[in-house]
Structure 1
Amino acid sequence: MTGYNNSVFYADSLYTHYNSDTVIDLNADGSRELILDLSTGATMYDYNMFLIFDLSKKHIEPFEIHNAQLVNGIDEQPKIESEVRLSPNYLGAGYAYSLKYEDGKMILKLIRRKAKF
């Protein structure tokens, strides 16, 4: 595996702070994915991002999801919630999206009755 400066992973200074990391099986296939939770510090509309690495892949290229949180219930496949905030922020308006990792792809799950607008 090659990378910038012999690094396995390299990113420009888009993020400002490391929040946490999690190793979890997102797609229930027995392999695990690494999630890095990084704060972007950009604006109140873009406050964090997940970098998701599938460690079972030959080439490790992360998925990048902004304004993300991990939702992991009992007997339920983990999913990622992503929120898009609308301006002005004090109104609290926005959209929430649910994503699942399946077959090496992030899949948008649309559930109308649970969607927040």
Structure 2
Amino acid sequence: MTTAVAAESEARQTPLPDRCFLVWLTPILVVALAVRVGFVLIRQSSVQLVTGDAYWYHFQAKLVAQGRGFLHPFDFYKEGIVSQGADHPPGFVVLLTILDWLGIDSPQGQ
């Protein structure tokens, strides 16, 4: 029975190469996250949304958060036309809507 216990305890231990990989991977991920957060806070804080996917997702999420539904944000905000707009997948819009409800309502915050 002692051999079975010894074999089980050896199976639970992470092999040395895997631990070494994690030791190197962790600081690389921390530095990458710091660079990304720094870029967003410093460089992207003054970017204005005028067109493109970022405009679409942000302003469609605002429309959903206001209870207006999935309207086409270009038509609604630029032309005042109310038209359904399901041109993009709704999952990301729903996530941004939740962030908008939580008070994170700027394009940079989202």
Tell me whether the two structures share a fold, i.e. TM-score over 0.5.
Answer: no
TM-score normalised by structure 2 residue count: 0.23
Structure possessing the higher relative contact order (Cα contacts under 8 Å, 6 or more residues apart): 2
**Structure with more of its chain in helix, by fraction:** 2
TM-score relative to the length of structure 1: 0.23
More strand by proportion, 1 or 2?
Answer: 1
